[in-house]
Amino acid sequence: MPDQMQRIVLASRPEAQASEENFRLETVEMPQPGEGEVLVKVHYMSLDPYMRGRMNAGRSYADPVDIGETMTAGGVGEVLASNSPDFRPGDFALGVFGWASHACARATDIRKLDPDMAPLTTALGVLGMPGFTAWHGLDAYGRPQPGETLVVAAATGPVGSMVGQLAKQAGLRVVGIAGGEEKCKLAVEAFGFDSCLDHRALGSAEALSAALAAACPDGIDIYYENVGGKVLEAVLPLMNNFGRIPVCGMIAWYNSADSNLTAPAIWRSVLTNFLSVNGFIIFNHYDRYPKFLQEVAPKIASGDIKYLEDIAEGLENAPKAFLSMMQGGNTGKQIVKLV
């Protein structure tokens, strides 16, 4: 067993847009598992938009990453040493291991994985937090009904693509929004969306709203909110009475809060169209995770739900992959391969 490991820490807090200078790669002493803990060699780690919020010092639903602290991340890896009867060396586990080559974790905080049941990477994406976020938000707050129209942005990402496929299977018209012609083509041809609009080719909220109006002739019943920005500006005027807006993210505003939206404009739409707007953090809903697996895992196995993964190589390349993802540079679930 090596006596050193690598990790990436938060070197400084971003001012507006994050950069590679905000991260630092370090080589440190290998941790040793304490009582009830295991030592894991990380094979794959997840990159997710929520991490940008953890880089800020402001109050949020979770504590920020401290300067000099390992960046937070979910990961999957192999157990090297165990002081728990629940894990043996050679087992594979899912947990919050951080941007690191190795990590110690309490056995009660991690979940054993069977690599013969599904590829390990799916625990970070389609069968993990992003897929679960999509399923829970749509089911609990979208309340889809056959014949309705749903709009979701980041349509080829792990959340958006899952939302769209589940909605289609529930009998809805599904319109996606994505960045670039190729991603829009992918949303329709690979994920079965009825239509997908390129927000990069539609430079303003007004232009995007006009295109959405044409793509959604019966209005919008469900807007699955994961980006904010001009997409929300474009969607709000088109929401039908009693429409539903599950809110799981606002990636367009993570680097900047600039917007033409005002509180009066938003709340007037909510009031006059009788909208239901539900914000949620998926970590508060893991009591429903077994039901999600029971419903969705067979669809993954059968191919009824499709997924894409964008895998970067090497821990040292995690910052670059993360910053690219924040600008829409990934296609599918962004993962970093360490082994």
For the cut 60, the answer to whether the pLDDT of residue 257 exceeds it is no
Least confident of 55-69, 101-115, 207-221, 297-311: 55-69
Summarize the confidence of residues 259-286 as an average pLDDT: 89
Please write the tens of the pLDDT for every residue from 34-47.
999 999 999 999 99
- Pairing between strand 92-96 and 149-153? unpaired
- Which pLDDT score, from 0 to 100, does residue 59 have? 78
- CA 169 to each of CA 55, 113, 129, 174, 304: distance values in angstroms, whole numbers, following the listed order: 37, 28, 21, 10, 9
Render the burial of 266-290: b for 16+ CB within 10 Å, e for the rest.
beebbeebebebeeeebeeeeeebe
Summarize the confidence of residues 152-168 as an average pLDDT: 97
- Which pLDDT score, from 0 to 100, does residue 25 have? 98
Summarize the confidence of residues 162-185 as an average pLDDT: 97
User: Residue 192 is which amino acid?
Assistant: G
Please write the tens of the pLDDT for every residue from 123-139.
999 999 999 999 999 99
Cα dihedral sign for 321, 158, 17, 202?
positive
